[in-house]
Chain A
Amino acid sequence: MSEAGNHAELTRRRMLQGAGVALTAAVGTAVLGLAGPTGTPAAAAGPGGHDTFDEVYRGRRIQGRPAASGHHHHGADYTVQIDGEELHVMRNADGTWISVVNHYQSHQTPLALARAAVVELQGATLVPIA
């Protein structure tokens, strides 16, 4: 992805982030989010957000899959690995995702989150989760 393309992607994410739409469907919580400045309806992570993925992105192997039973640490029901090291991830109430290296910026799917982490890491390796 070009630098300009990457910036456009980040900007798009920001717009989506501000849009606050669906909350966790499973619990049917009322929508309390306020429309962001853009008013763009965001497609929160639907079923596709929980798909397994395994790809090489910018030279790094990124993998994601639903967490095995008993692996639900810190509220995550999904694990992401970069070159075999686990990336700490968390799901927000609206279905979006954050990680330890992007903790203040929500992404729509675990795949988008993993790719953003690869960009942020610039080739660095993750420290194993304690």
Chain B
Amino acid sequence: MAVRKNQATLTAKEKRDFVDALLQLKRLGRYDAYVATHNRFIVSDTDNGERTGHRSPSFLPWHRRFLLQFEQDLQSVNPSVTLPYWDWTADRTATAGLWADDLLGGNGRSGDNRVTTGPFAAGGGQWTITVRPDSRDYLRRSLGTGVAQLPTRAEVESVLAVQTYDAAPWNSSSAGFRNQLEGWRGVNLHNRVHVWVGGLMGTGMSPNDPVFWLHHCFIDKLWAEWQRRHPQQGYLPTAATANVVSLNTAMKPWNDTTPADMLDHTRHYTYDSAF
């Protein structure tokens, strides 16, 4: 069984294998399809219309399926690779090991926010941004400027304590665990981390920054943690609902996976620890 690990515990070889697999998918032209798919959903998911990947109950199972597909793609390059996660309640500064040259590289430089260190720096020639919102073709970050602080452990605990998975109207105005984890309401967890990283992570093409996968892997882990703490609660809605993916409805773009299929992550991978 594949184990997804905290990035802070990875060995030098595990970091190298993960980075090399990312660069290989990029080189093969497969990486950018994930960026395009994510953006296609994020611009079409609307609060009053069809919504699947974001601002809706299926935010969590959709991203679980999206990460699984990406992880399987990485494993086709190197079978020993699994997605690591970034616990941003613990590794919460721009000097964390996550941002070192042997993993994701550092912050963007002042002026144009261009990342100039690590494997994904524009100067290395291996990470040209092709699916992009504007003319800039280099990876950008601006750690901690869009918002000063990453969420704290206490803030995460307050969201994990929310009993109900989601609630009508099943969008960015909903009460419930999903929307507070996503961040449109309440203390703001997931959205705030995108803003904290800045640069391309703040855009609809956020998977251009490899930290996207580590961020969403931690969000996925927090969903698993919520399930562990609330065994009597489950995915909602269970009944067919207009514009919303209910428990047994297949999700686009795969059309072969329902939220129900994604509830038990241990069929595919486990995490190295509870939150």
Contacts and interface: CB of A to CB of B under 8 A. Distances in A.
A126 B47 contact: no
Interface string A73-111: 011000000000000101111100000111111100000
B184 interface: yes
25 contacts: A11-B148, A18-B187, A27-B48, A33-B175, A34-B186, A36-B188, A74-B43, A90-B46, A92-B47, A92-B55, A93-B169, A93-B173, A100-B43, A100-B133, A103-B194, A103-B202, A104-B190, A104-B192, A104-B194, A104-B206, A105-B195, A120-B202, A121-B134, A124-B136, A127-B135
Given A93-B48, A93-B172, A104-B202, 8 more contacts: A10-B147, A36-B185, A74-B46, A94-B173, A100-B203, A103-B42, A103-B194, A124-B136
- Would you list the 7 A-B pairs with minimal beta carbon distance, nearest first? A75-B46, A104-B194, A93-B173, A93-B47, A104-B191, A124-B134, A124-B135
Contacts of A94: 172-173
A125 B173 contact: no
B204 interface: yes
A7 interface: yes
B188 A18 contact: yes
Interface in A108-125: 120-122, 124-125
A122 B113 contact: yes
B49 interface: yes
A25 B205 CA distance: 31
Interface string B101-123: 00000000000110000000000
Interface in A23-45: 23-24, 27, 29, 31-34, 36-37
Contacts of B147: 10-11, 14, 105
Interface of A: 7, 10-11, 14, 17-18, 20, 23-24, 27, 29, 31-34, 36-37, 74-75, 88, 90-94, 100-106, 120-122, 124-127
A66 B235 CA distance: 37
Contacts of A88: 43, 133, 204
Contacts of B194: 103-105
Contacts of B43: 74, 88, 90, 100
A24 B49 CA distance: 14
A92 to B, nearest CB: 5
A127 B131 CA distance: 10
Given A75-B49, A104-B183, A29 B169 contact: yes
A75 B46 CA distance: 6
Given A10-B147, A11-B148, A104-B194, A126 B134 contact: yes
